[in-house]
Amino acid sequence: IAALTTCSYGFAAEGSFQAGGPLGTINESGVATPMSSNVKVYGSFRFAESCTFDPQRNLILAMNPGIGNELQENDGYVSLINPDGSVHTAKWIGATRDGLTLHHPLGSAISNGVLYTVDGIMLRSFDLATGRPLNAFEVTGASFLNGIGVTEDGTAYISNTRPPERIYKVTADGDVSVF
């Protein structure tokens, strides 16, 4: 069990984003091998605030705030969970920090091949196929973004659960207003 690790099956240029791969091992030659399908791993994250189902891949995306920002900033990540609750990919988004800023992801939603998550006072989006970061919009006036719903056109409706308690509307272009 100690040999289990998050494997990354592609190589990226230094400083560029790289998503993590399914659980498995890496041998002495650096060759990654996925874990056998008859092995199930449960857990692997500190706590998951929100989960969103991806029907295209039949996986659950779990937003993980990581450790508190006061201890380490930019430690959030997204895990992929199988429908039976076992771990598919412990750190899919967040396997590396190259090209990634994700502090404390909470609420999440999927629309048109994009994963949206709220992160402090930011709305962040990621390509659902690759995990690559797409956009980051600051929600001016927010103090603690939590829940999110996204329409077909990419408009996000986001709850701010601490004063001022309100719902924000963020368009696909990043225009922010109080709903």
- Express each pLDDT in 92-118 by its tens digit: 999 888 889 999 999 999 999 999 999
The token duo for 121 is 């006072």
Please tell me the predicted confidence (pLDDT) of residue 41. Answer: 73
Q: Is a pLDDT exceeding 60 seen at residue 32?
A: yes
Q: What is the dihedral of CA 13, 24, 48, 52, to 10 degrees?
A: 80
Please tell me the predicted confidence (pLDDT) of residue 111. Answer: 97
- Structure pTM? 0.81
Instruction: Name the residue with tokens 């930019």.
Output: 74
Alpha-carbon distance of 69 to 131, in angstroms, equals 22
Alpha-carbon distance of 136 to 131, in angstroms, equals 14
**Residue 62 near residue 106, CB atoms below 8 Å:** no
Across 59-63, 84-88, 167-171, least confident range: 84-88
> Per residue in 46-70, pLDDT tens?
778 889 999 999 999 999 988 777 7
Please tell me the predicted confidence (pLDDT) of residue 22. Answer: 75
Alpha-carbon distance of 103 to 93, in angstroms, equals 12
- Is residue 116 classed exposed, middle or buried when 0-12, 13-18 and 19+ CB atoms within 10 A define those classes? buried
Please tell me the predicted confidence (pLDDT) of residue 113. Answer: 97
Euclidean distance between the first and final Cα of the chain, in Å? 49
Please tell me the predicted confidence (pLDDT) of residue 44. Answer: 64
Average pLDDT of every residue of the chain: 86
Alpha-carbon distance of 108 to 155, in angstroms, equals 13
**Residue 9 near residue 18, CB atoms below 8 Å:** no
